[in-house]
Amino acid sequence: MEPQEKILKTSLELFFKYGIKRVTMDDIAKELGMSKKTIYQFYKEKDDLVNQLCEVEMKKQEEVFRNIEKQSQDPIHEIVLISNTMSEMMHHINPIFFMDLQKFHGNAFLLFQKFKEECAYKDLLRNIKAGKEIGVYRKDVDEEFTAKYRLAQIDMLMFGNYFSFEKISFTQTHQLLLDTFVYGICTLKGHQLINEYKGINEYE
C-alpha cells in the first residue's frame, strides 16, 4: 500500500471511531508509526487531509452504487442492497463524525452535499421511476418530492439533533428511517417483494 493511501485509510478509521475533531495529526502519525513530517509531505494540514479523504470516499461510494445498480434484479432489490451496504458502513461510524464534518470542515461537507444532491438524487429518481413502471411503487408518488424527502431523511440522521442513539443505535435508526420511506411508497406487490428479499414472513 502506498504511503498516501495508507494515511487516508488509517485517518478514516480513526475519524469514524472517534470523530474528526478529537483526532489530531499526532494521533494519526502515532497510529501509522510514521512522523508528522511524512504526512505533511502529502497533506498541508488536517483540513486538507479531510478534504482529500472525502473526495476519495465519495468516488468510492459512487462506484459502489454503480455496482449495486448492475447487481440488482429490480428497484426494490437495489434499495435492499444499498440498505445492507449502508448499515454495514454505519456500524463502524461514530455519529459525531458527520457533525464534525459539517461544523469544522466546510469544504469537505460541501463535497458530501454535492455527492448527495447529484449522484444520490439522480439514483433515487431513476429507482423511483423504474419502480413505478413495474408496479412496485405507487403510481401517485411524486418522483422529485419523494427523492428529496429521502435525502432529507439522510440529513436528519447525519446532521440533525433528532436522535441520541442511546436506546436505538445509529445503524438501527438508519434502518428504521429507510423502512419508513420504502414501505411508504410501495404497492402491495412491492411490500411483498421487500419482505421476500429481507426474509420476512409477516404471517408467522
Q: What is the C-alpha to C-alpha distance for residues 168 and 38, in angstroms, rounded to an integer?
A: 41
Confidence (pTM): 0.90
Q: Which residue has the cell 448492475?
A: 70
69 found inside a domain = yes
- Note the pLDDT tens digit of each residue in 36-94: 999 999 999 999 999 999 999 999 999 999 999 999 999 999 999 998 999 898 888 99
How many domains, the chain?
1
20 found inside a domain = no
183 found inside a domain = yes
* Residue with the larger pLDDT of the pair 78 and 202: 78
Region 121-139 average pLDDT: 97
Burial status of residue 39 (CB atoms within 10 A of its CB: 0-12, 13-18, 19 or more) = buried
9 found inside a domain = no
Q: Is the pLDDT of residue 149 over 80?
A: yes
Domain CATH number, residue 160 = 1.10.357.10
* Residue with the larger pLDDT of the pair 117 and 186: 186
81 found inside a domain = yes
Domain that holds residue 175: 57-198
123 found inside a domain = yes
93 found inside a domain = yes
18 found inside a domain = no
Q: What is the C-alpha to C-alpha distance for residues 44 and 41, in angstroms, rounded to an integer?
A: 7
Q: Is the pLDDT of residue 34 over 80?
A: yes
Instruction: Indicate the pLDDT class of residue 137, thresholds 50, 70 and 90.
Output: very high
